[in-house]
Amino acid sequence: LAISKGADPAKIFKTLLGANTSMFYPKETQSLIRQKYMIPEDHKIMLTVSHLVPRKGQDMVIKALPKILKEIPNLTYLIGGRGEYFESLKALVSELHLEAQVRFLGFIKDEEINDLFNACDVFIMPNRQEDYDVEGFGIVFADAAACGKATIAGNSGGAVDAIVHNETGYLVDPLSVDDITDKCIKLLSDDELRKRFGQNGYQRVQNELNWDSVREKIYKQINKLSKR
């Protein structure tokens, strides 16, 4: 975007954002979250935590659920957050008769977000562009990865930098129910794949997607420019 407006490419420095690793880290919370939200012991858990607006893609996950449930019948989808799209999402859940599988958690306090990340099996947010509204980076994917979780994001906006496709998670066509369905089933049905993606994401956060690393990169660039 900067270059398209006439910026000199040689004068652009890009760095990714980072997870807050003092706030997001692996811990055992599944029993706590299952008990709090009355989730059966044998259910896999998918999670989205975000503002409830169309571009976050919760509606596409809900539309994909009937097909996903045919392969993964023991599944609960948790949606955390508040926003203008809540009534539409709730109506869609009712229309598809998914009240038993989808739980709206409402506003999530900061101290509970780490518990939710650690309790889920897959973090999913198939973000898409809506007019000029686009995902800037998708730091929530880095936060989930900091907890060792496999992630699914929309192949749109900054999310393409937050996930390494086929290594830390999947980038899906955010407008394709079939693509979302396929990737959810792959991850939910393969414990080893989920674990590998989660571990890869965790290592990436430790190596580069954390604020200490980001600060160091920016500091080095400023130092380089000041010497120049």
pLDDT, tens digit (0-9, with 9 covering 90-100), for 29-54: 999 999 999 999 999 999 999 999 99
Give 93-97's long-range contacts (Cβ < 8 A, gap of 24+). 93/62, 96/62, 96/63, 96/65, 96/66
Q: Work out the pLDDT band at 158, boundaries 50, 70, 90.
A: confident
Distance from C-alpha of 123 to C-alpha of 153, rounded to nearest angstrom: 9
> In this prediction, what percent of the chain has a pLDDT beyond 90?
90
pLDDT given at position 41 = 96
pTM, entire model:
0.93
Average of per-residue pLDDT across 144-154: 98
pLDDT reading at 228 higher than 90: no
For 70-80, the pLDDT digits (tens) are 999 999 999 99
Q: What angle do CA 147, 152, 155 make, to 5 degrees?
A: 130
